[in-house]
Amino acid sequence: MTRILAVANQKGGVGKTTTAINLGAALAALERRVLLVDCDPQGNASRGLGQEVAPPHLYQVLVGQAEASAAIRPSGFPNLDLLPANRELVGIEVEFVGLEGWQRRLSEALEPAVGGYDWVLLDCPPSLGHLTVLALVAADGVLVPLQCEYFALEGVSELVSTVGRVASALNPALAISGILLTMYDDRMNLTKDVEREIREHFGPTALSTVVPRNVRLAEAPSHGLPILRYDIRSRGAEAYLELARELLGRAA
């Protein structure tokens, strides 16, 4: 059974794309077939895997100009495929306004193409607009990367509310699958305070795995590589392998 996970947080700079790329690569390294769908007009997930985005891409899939299976391509990392995006995708925020049934366009487009995958990861933009709603309707779970700072805490309640509204109106199977603490620095009291609040409030929904601040992890996207290929011995690589194992254990 294919597991579809939206990687979402309306706050930027919390590690969504880093998580989508490197969790995808870690699951692939553990011999799962993975599809990464870049749902962000910035196209960072596509560029972070070293891809030059030429048609067909996600915008064309969503507006009916191409089939998803035609837009999916190998990422260059074994067992990991990519459905890329570029800035044309920003047009969806305008073109889908008032369009009947737009919320299910991504779900319907992916359905014929995802049967051969164990996991599908949807890398969402830093907003709660049309593109994020499309991903939430298509997903059966939401992974929320959360930077260890107080401003990040404020956005989580808004995202949880949005997930609740989408679940009640459009996708009853949708739930928060995990809160992932990112840019974790155990030398800072603030990090420990935020972690304590998250674990007290969310309980087991807060994942045991944390992703540390790691220079090699920050460098990897500029080389178009997941951390497992850029520096498999780094703390960042170890964290994402641990995250993949934790999510596999929870899904079993």
Amino acid 111: pLDDT: 96
As given in the structure block, the two tokens for residue 165 are 């509204």
Amino acid 98: pLDDT: 86
The count of other CB atoms within 10 Å of the CB of residue 97 is 9
The count of other CB atoms within 10 Å of the CB of residue 174 is 22
Peptide bond into 172 cis (omega under 30): no
The SS3 call for residue 132 is helix
Residue 178 sits at φ, ψ, to 5 deg, of -175, 145
Amino acid 59: pLDDT: 97
Give the length of the chain: 252
Q: CA 162, CA 171: separation in Å to the nearest integer?
A: 12
Amino acid 105: pLDDT: 97
Amino acid 159: pLDDT: 87
Rounded average pLDDT per 10-residue block, the chain, 252 residues: 94 92 98 98 94 91 96 96 96 91 96 96 93 96 90 80 93 95 90 90 94 94 95 96 97 82
Q: Which helix (H) or strand (E) holds 73?
A: strand 73-77
Amino acid 13: pLDDT: 84
Amino acid 53: pLDDT: 83
Amino acid 156: pLDDT: 84
Categorise residue 31: left if φ over 0, alpha if ψ from -120 to 50, beta otherwise. left
Contact 35, 72 (CB under 8 A): yes
Amino acid 54: pLDDT: 85
Amino acid 212: pLDDT: 94
Q: CA 163, CA 148: separation in Å to the nearest integer?
A: 21
Q: Tell me the domains of the chain and their CATH numbers.
A: 3-251 (3.40.50.300)
Q: CA 53, CA 199: separation in Å to the nearest integer?
A: 39
Amino acid 20: pLDDT: 98
Amino acid 153: pLDDT: 74
13-to-145, 148, 157, 194 alpha-carbon distances in Å: 10, 11, 17, 17
